[in-house]
Structures are given as structure tokens and as C-alpha cells.
Amino acid sequence: MADSADSLTLVPAGRNMPRHVAIVMDGNGRWAKRRGLPRVIGHQAGVKALERTIDYARDLGIRYLSVYAFSTENWKRAHSEVQGLMGLFRYYLKGKIGQMHRRGARVRFAGQMSAFPDDILSIVESAEEMTRENTAIDVIFCVNYGGRQEILDAIAGLIRSGHEGPVTEDVLRRHLYAPDIPDPDLLIRTGGELRISNFWLWESAYSEYYFSDVYWPDFGREELARALDSYAGRERRYGSA
Ligand code: IPE
Ligand code: IPE
Ligand code: MG
């Protein structure tokens, strides 16, 4: 577990804290390249950063943490990199879910899960089932996630449902991947790129953005605290004057 006493001193209680923090975990490949290592080693280091971040977020009282781990576009990468990522996904799910469960995390997934092999699907289902009642933090793994695909899937689901009457935001939202989770308040992207890359397109309509030059494997408590600090000073107006 993260050193909770230290984490709390970095972000004093009573601050304006986001309920839902979403993270585009970018920069693993460049982190590895800078060290002359294969990209997959960067992804391994990224898994460690993720484990730390889940602990910090939980200790700080962030109720929902969603992480972009694999996009619908990431299949375009070299077969070896995709295979490496699938291997890590398996290892992470098998090895870490029990630990997350003991720490009170509810584990969820958002994305087109049908693309994954059966063994991964069965671990995903048992992880969701095992952790369903946990309330310390919800961790949403966005895998084979694409914002445009999510909206298309929601429209298809809406049509299948035979809905009659006006199609309002609330009606469409019911068909998104995680309709009960509040929209991201704070959306962090590491790795220095200033783009959204198809993440939470519907849900991020009014999210606050924080872009960090830190490569994801180097992300830690200090950078999370900086993002939360930046968020705490913002005024959210949602279009009002
Ligand atoms: C993010 O790191 C992880 C995934 C997309 C799976 P990258 O692999 O995109 O790292 P960079 O952006 O090439 O450095
Ligand atoms: C976004 O990173 C996807 C994930 C972090 C999973 P990418 O590295 O795929 O995004 P682009 O290609 O730089 O836009
Ligand atoms: Mg990238």
C-alpha cells in the first residue's frame, strides 16, 4: 500500500477534490526508447506506475479512477507489441486482482471486450464479480476502448432496446459502457501529447484537463498531487456566466 500519511500531506483534506479522475497513460514507449530498451519493457514499467497510482488515488479519497490502457486504434501496432500488451494484461489480471480486492477496489472494464480471447474474458468476468461489493475506489480499465465506438455501440443498443420517444442525453447515456459512473472531473494525460486520442468522448464534455510531460512509467505521487492542485484552483462553469 502507498504511504498514505505522506500522500495526505501533499493534498490537504477539504480541498476541492475530483470524484472521478481519468488518465491517458501515455509515454511508455518513449520511456523505454530513452533507455535503449524494447517498448514492452516500458509497458511493464507502466504497470508498476498504475499499481502505485491506484493506491495513491484510493488513499486520497478519489472515488473513481479510470485508466486508458488500450485503445481501439492500438491494434495498428506491431503484432509483437500487441502480444506483449495482452501478456501483461493477463499477468496483471491474474496476479493483481486479489490484491486490489483486499484493498477494497471494485474492478471494472470499459470497451469492446468481445475482441479479447476467452481466457482473458473469463478472468475479466471473475474480477468484476469478485470485487462487485467493494466501495473504497472503482478502478475502470478502458481496454479496446474507443470513444467513437462507444457512442456507436450506445446508438446500436438504443435501437435494439426499441426505445420510443425523444432521444435525450439521459436516454443515450444508459447505453454507454459505464452509465452509472459520474463523468470524469479531471482528465490527466501524461507523455506530453496535447490530444484526447478517442478517450471518453461523450463523458469528457466538461472535464478539466491536465497535461503532463512526464512519461507514464515516471508518474507518481508528486505529479498526481500537482494535477489535483491544478484542479482545486479551477472554476467549473458548465456554460453558465
Ligand atoms: C501508452 O504508451 C500505452 C499504450 C498505448 C498501450 P505508448 O506505448 O503509446 O508510449 P509512447 O507514446 O509511444 O511513448
Ligand atoms: C492513447 O495513447 C491510448 C492509450 C494510452 C491507451 P496513444 O499513444 O495510442 O495515442 P496517440 O497515437 O499518440 O494519439
Ligand atoms: Mg503513445
* pLDDT tens, residue by residue, 103-141: 999 999 999 999 999 999 999 999 999 999 999 999 999
Annotated catalytic residue: which of 3, 26, 55, 180? 26
pLDDT at 9 (0 to 100):
52
Which residues form the domain of 78? 16-187+197-226
9-47 exposure pattern, b = at least 16 Cβ within 10 A, e = fewer:
eebeeeeebbebbbbbbbbbbbbbeeeeeebbbbbbbbb
Q: For residue 15, what pLDDT is reported?
A: 77
CA separation for the pair 62, 19 (Å, rounded)? 6
Neighbours of 207 (CB within 10 A): 21
In a mutational test of the pocket of ligand 1, which residue from 23, 28, 215 has the highest number of ligand atoms less than 8 Å from its CB? Answer: 28
Asked if residue 232 belongs to a domain, the reply is no
Q: Is residue 59 part of a domain?
A: yes
Residue 233 lies in a domain: no
Instruction: Establish if 142 belongs to a structural domain.
Output: yes
Task: Collapse the DSSP code of 142 into the 3-class scheme (helix H, G, I; strand E, B; otherwise coil) and give the result.
Answer: strand
Q: What is the pLDDT of residue 13?
A: 60
- Residue closest via CA to ligand 2's atom 2 equals 26
Q: Assess whether 74 carries a catalytic annotation.
A: yes
The confidence score (pLDDT) of residue 8 equals 47
Residue 235 lies in a domain: no
Question: Considering only CA atoms, which of 69, 66, 67, 70 is closest in space to residue 20?
Answer: 66
Let me know if residue 7 belongs to a domain: no
Structural domain tally of the chain?
1
Q: 27 CA distance to ligand 1 centroid (A)?
A: 5
Using the mean position of ligand 3's atoms as its centre, give its distance from the Cα of residue 237 in Å: 31
Q: Which of 3, 6, 16, 74 is catalytic?
A: 74
Cβ neighbors of 50 (< 8 A, separation 6 or more) are 25, 67, 69
Q: Would you state the pLDDT for residue 10?
A: 60
Task: Give, for all 241 residues of the chain, the pLDDT tens digit.
Answer: 444 444 445 666 667 999 999 999 999 999 999 999 999 999 999 999 999 999 999 999 999 999 999 999 999 999 999 999 999 999 999 999 999 999 999 999 999 999 999 999 999 999 999 999 999 999 999 999 999 999 999 999 999 999 999 999 999 999 999 999 999 999 999 999 999 999 999 999 999 999 999 999 999 999 999 999 999 999 999 999 9
Residue ranges with CB less than 5 Å from ion ligand 3: 26
Tell me, what's the pLDDT at 7? 46
- Which ligand 2 atom is nearest residue 24's CA? 5
Q: Phi and psi of 117, rounded to 5°?
A: -65, 160
| Burial (Cβ within 10 Å: 0-12, 13-18, ≥19) of residue 128 | middle
141 is a domain residue: yes
2 is a domain residue: no
CATH code of the domain containing 217 = 3.40.1180.10
